[in-house]
């Protein structure tokens, strides 16, 4: 009797592992059956999330390249070529956003928002940069969203007829959220600051003043929003102030030195300044 109970524990354990094996082998246990369903549900969700992260990363890379391309505008004689090339690149990015829209069909956009928000912010930055160079104004959220409408005709057609839907082509839309837009615009200011410094380096005297005007407007806008926005906005506001300070300093120097140094030498003053500024610049 006593012996038997002394063995109780190992016995119990082996019984448990046997039970475990039996349970995982037979789906008859309601708990195991339920967890198999959960497993599938979670896996599907995680897979989708990973796919979105991947697309978002591609969007980020492509948008960054576009921004680098756009920085060349200041030093190239025919800016229109560069702008058109950037447009083509952004079309590619939009295709990728179309993929996101497709993944999100029938899903709650906010459930997976974290997966693709970095890419979307980068896209907003690239688009608004291009828009500024072309039109010297801030692209609106609506203008961005209007271009993110995708029509899927191929494949969808067959499916539609199979499902007997009245629509011939499927229209997918992607809506950039106001906070993503805001964060993208905050990143834009960093690019504008760079553009300002490099344009001075090329002897362009007008652009810095236009830019400082524009940056000031954006800065005022952000101050208006203040801390009602998401948490990241207040963080970016700090960098925005720094960028604005640099641009304003540049304009100041232009005014002061411009009156005493001949124009062709001004470029030298600034090319030494850029090396001072660039290392500090952390935001891309």
Partner 1 sequence: MSVTEMFTYIQGFLSADQDVREDIRKVVQILEQTAREMLTVLQSVHQPSGFKEIPSKCAKARELFCTVRTQIADLKTKFPVEQYYRFHEHWRFVLQRLAFLAAFVVYLESESLVTREEVAQILGIEVVREKGFHLDVEDYLAGVLIMASELSRLAVNSVTAGDYNRPLRISNFINELDSGFRLLNLKNDPLRKRYDGLKYDVKKIEEVVYDLSIRGLAKESESGADK
**Site residues, partner 1 (CB under 8 A):** 1-2, 5-6, 8-9, 12-13, 15-16, 19-20, 23-24, 29-32, 34-36, 38-39, 41-43, 46, 106, 108, 110-111, 113, 137-138, 140-142, 178-179, 181-182, 214, 217-218, 220-222, 224-225, 228-229
Question: Shortest approach of partner 1 to residue 266 CB, angstroms?
Answer: 29
Say if residue 125 carries a ligand binding annotation.
yes
Question: Shortest approach of partner 1 to residue 268 CB, angstroms?
Answer: 34
Which CB atom, from 8 or from 168, has the smaller least distance to partner 1? Answer: 8
Which CB atom, from 54 or from 64, has the smaller least distance to partner 1? Answer: 54
Q: Check if the beta carbon of residue 185 is closer than 8 Å to that of residue 123.
A: no
Question: Shortest approach of partner 1 to residue 148 CB, angstroms?
Answer: 17
Quickly list DSSP for 115-165: HHHHHHHHHHHHHHHHHHHHHSSPPPHHHHHHT-EEEE-TTHHHHHHHHT-
Question: Shortest approach of partner 1 to residue 174 CB, angstroms?
Answer: 15
In the chain the first and final C-alpha atoms are separated, in Å, by 76
Between the CA of residue 274 and those of 70, 279, 280, what are the distances in Å? 18, 9, 10
Residue of 53, 58, 54, 83 whose CA lies nearest to 71: 83
Helix (H, G, I), strand (E, B) or coil at 204: coil
Determine the Cα–Cα distance for residues 205 and 190; give it in Å rounded to an integer: 19
Give me the residue label for tokens 């969808």: 156
Which CB atom, from 170 or from 177, has the smaller least distance to partner 1? Answer: 177
Question: Shortest approach of partner 1 to residue 27 CB, angstroms?
Answer: 10
Which CB atom, from 142 or from 154, has the smaller least distance to partner 1? Answer: 142
Return binding residues for Mg(2+).
125, 191
Return binding residues.
125, 191
């Amino acid at each position: 009797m006593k012996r038997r109970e002394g063995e109780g524990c190992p016995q119990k354990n082996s019984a448990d592992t046997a039970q475990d094996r039996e349970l995982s082998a037979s789906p008859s246990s309601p708990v195991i059956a339920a967890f198999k369903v959960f497993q599938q549900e979670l896996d599907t969700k995680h897979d989708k999330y990973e796919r979105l992260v991947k697309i978002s990363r591609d969007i980020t890379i492509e948008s960054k390249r576009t921004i680098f391309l756009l920085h060349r505008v200041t030093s190239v004689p025919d800016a229109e070529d560069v702008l058109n090339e950037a447009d083509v690149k952004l079309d590619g990015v939009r295709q990728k956003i179309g993929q996101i829209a497709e993944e999100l069909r029938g899903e709650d956009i906010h459930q997976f928002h974290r997966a693709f928000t970095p890419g979307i912010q980068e896209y907003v930055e690239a688009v608004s940069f291009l828009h500024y160079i072309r039109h010297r104004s801030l692209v609106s959220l609506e203008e961005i969203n209007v271009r993110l409408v995708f029509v899927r005709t191929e494949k969808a057609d067959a499916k539609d007829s199979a499902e007997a839907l009245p629509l011939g082509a499927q229209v997918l839309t992607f809506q950039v959220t106001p906070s993503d837009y805001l964060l993208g615009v905050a990143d834009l200011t960093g690019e504008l600051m760079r553009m300002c410094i490099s344009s001075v380096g090329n002897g362009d005297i007008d652009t810095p003043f236009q830019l400082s005007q524009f940056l000031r407007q954006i800065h005022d806008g952000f101050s208006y929003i203040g801390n009602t926005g998401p948490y990241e906005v207040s963080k970016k506001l700090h960098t925005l102030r720094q960028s604005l300070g640099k641009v304003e300093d540049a304009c100041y120097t232009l005014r002061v030195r411009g009156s005493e140094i001949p124009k062709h030498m001004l470029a030298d003053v600034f090319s030494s300044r850029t090396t001072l500024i660039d290392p500090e610049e952390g935001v891309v």
